[in-house]
Amino acid sequence: MFVLRTASLTMLCLLSTQGALLAAEGQQVASPPNILIILADDLGYSDLGCTGGEIPTPNIDALAKGGARFTDFCTSARCCPTRASLMTGLYPSQAGIADFTSARPDPKRGPGYLGRLTDRCVTLAEALKPAGYACYYVGKWHMHPATGPILRGFDEFYGFTADHSHDQYDKDYYVRLPEGRKKEIDPPAETFYATDVFNDYALAFMRQGQQSGKPWFLFLGHSSPHFPLQAPAGRADRFEAVYARGWDVLREERFERMKKIGLVDGARWALTPRSLVPVDRDDIANGYSGKPNPAWNELDEARRHDLARRMAVFAAMVSGIDQGVGRIIDQLKATGQFDNTLILFLSDNGACYEWGPFGFDGESRRGATTLHEGGALRRLGGPGTHCSYGSGWANLCNTPFRLYKHFTHEGGIAVPLIVHWPAGLDAPDRWIREPAHAMDVMPTLLEAAGARYPSTRAGLDMPPPEGRSLLPAIRGEAQAARTLGFDHQGAHALRQGDWKLVWGKRMPHEIKWELYNLAEDRCELNDLAGREPGRVAAMAAEWEKWARRVYVTYDNPKDVAAKQEAVDDSPQVRNRPIRVTSRVKAEHPDGVVLAQGGREHGYALHFIKGVPAFDVRVNGAVTRVKGSQAVSGEVTLRATLTSDAIMLFVNDACVGEAKSPGLIPVQPKDALSIGRDALTAAGDYEAPNPFNGEVLSHAVETGGHK
């Protein structure tokens, strides 16, 4: 049963339909709770002790024991879209960050792809502040500096507002806001470690809130355990022997613990086989592109030592988060605020596979993985290092599910959620099995705080939250079945009650809609699409309807499947001269005519507000040749790349020439796209940058011209 206790802890309060707390006649109104959100970054479904993991997390486990644990809580498949949804109560695309943050939004893709929070949304701080809350933010923001925390309702901030991650030891990168604030906590460079300093600032801001006399809201957004995997060597040492046992043994042990603690509730759960490594260049995928992660015992001893150390550093990062939770709990108990502080602990997406079973090294995240041996092994995770742990360990972290972050299968979107509030939640230590979503956090907090969702902001009407409060589910009340949509960079899903429709990507097999009954098959092992074609068609249509409503733009899944089949037919351009010819028709041409490749290597023929351009990308850097004036109507474009020059022609007249950056040194992994850049951007623009006219013909010739 769920109860709200008054300041005397004896009187019951009722929740009005608007979410305000109303005392029964003659009773005292309960004081609104303090609110603390602790968000881990790339933490897997089973990494915590209270969800079956071997990493010791006693303080987080204590919150779980005294609160409620959700078994079916989901997010977006990526960090910044989840943050947008969590912060606003909307789907990520409604909040302006459908895929990723961006300094150069693509208006042709619509309001869902601003790459920052839209003006037409309300943040948690903007909703709680009118109810009297002091609002604080610590850690990773990742919703674009132009819509940073101080601009969107928070009173104080320490952390970083740009990028998805950064070196944990680089003290000068982390900032104190508002501008002009002095860093109250500023350890010397030799002892600075961001996770620890985030914990320190969380305590400092919490004390500010306690001294303000107001209820307070603190958002602690850790960047741990996101790559770069970094932790002081002494902290990682204690875990290395554990992970030397390998991911196969540890997956089985995690699954058995999940059964024992009651998270796994019967035959509908099964430990999945080792997940596939997504299709990618072989050097990036460590030679396992499209293949299952290797068995641990198949790896040579040096590789096993390297991998065990990587995972040991990851575990040390998780442990660092937990130690901060312990310090926060101690402070709340010492000040008498523990019982009436509503604490939510969760992750932003499933564990991160980037990019193969051996992980990566270096800030580019691309290219061959370093094998660390000897003294270099213990330096892994130290200042200046930049590595990940790879798909094999990510598969362990997501036990028992398939796949990872970036995907809308359960391994990408299912995360732990713990809700703890002694003064407001009765009957602790329970599993809540109702489906829930990151966008449900906003309505939950507003209901608990007695706050109203603003109908306007800065003179603009606000859309109502898409989420629903989690408090009725925690009370044990039956919840109506709901439909939830998902989309992230070509991965789609629709959840209707127990049924889930999923569209994958980067797989070695034909990509098509998959259908699962999660009531019987939570781990998505039995694809029922072939037996239920009517349901697949109906749910696919419903997904497209949802996508249009929430501003998702996408390639038709059938077209994507056709392109996937044609990947091997893309021109072989590695170390070859290239000649591209295309006849197009448009009154005011704009966008990509054709492109091959992506963020590392490739080329693109495109228009910029009518002006033709040819971009060549080598090792991430773009060289552009561009015409001097806009064209319109039907024209023929031709562009050439040789080892000496890049040239661009319109109707056989040369309109631009530049020195060549050299031939493209590797075969691009992104296939040839016509009329848009379907995956990552081969040129200096935001993909997909669709062409607004007709591509009447195209040809790519290689190796036959000088």
Q: CA triplet 570, 571, 576: central angle to 5 degrees?
A: 150
Write out the H or E segment, with its range, that includes residue 706: none
Contact in structure between 346 and 44 (CB atoms under 8 Å):
no
Q: CA distances (Å), 646 to each of 143, 192, 546, 577, in order?
A: 37, 47, 44, 10
Residue 86 main-chain phi, psi, to 5 deg: -60, -40
Q: Provide the Cα torsion 333, 336, 337, 343; round to 10°.
A: 30
Catalytic (active site) residue 705: no
What distance separates the 2 farthest-apart alpha carbons in the chain? 91
Contact in structure between 406 and 493 (CB atoms under 8 Å):
no
Catalytic (active site) residue 79: yes
Contact in structure between 283 and 368 (CB atoms under 8 Å):
yes
3-state SS class at 179: coil
Q: Which of 80, 121, 142, 492 is catalytic?
A: 142
Q: Which of 13, 50, 79, 387 is catalytic?
A: 79
Quickly count: other Cβ atoms within 10 Å of residue 592's Cβ: 26
The two three-digit tokens of residue 428, written as one number: 């602790």
Which residues, in sequence order, are CB contacts of 597 under 8 Å at separation 6+? 573, 603, 604, 617, 664, 668, 669, 670, 682
Q: Which residues pair with 164 in a beta bridge?
A: none
Q: Provide the Cα torsion 510, 42, 45, 357; round to 10°.
A: 50
Least Cα distance to 603 among 570, 636, 566, 569 occurs for 570
Ordered alpha helix ranges (H), 437-519? 441-449, 471-475
d(CA 3, CA 15): 10
Q: Where are the beta strands (DSSP E) in 572-662?
A: 578-586, 591-597, 602-608, 611-618, 621-626, 633-641, 645-650, 653-659
User: Could you give the residue numbers annotated as active site?
Assistant: 79, 142
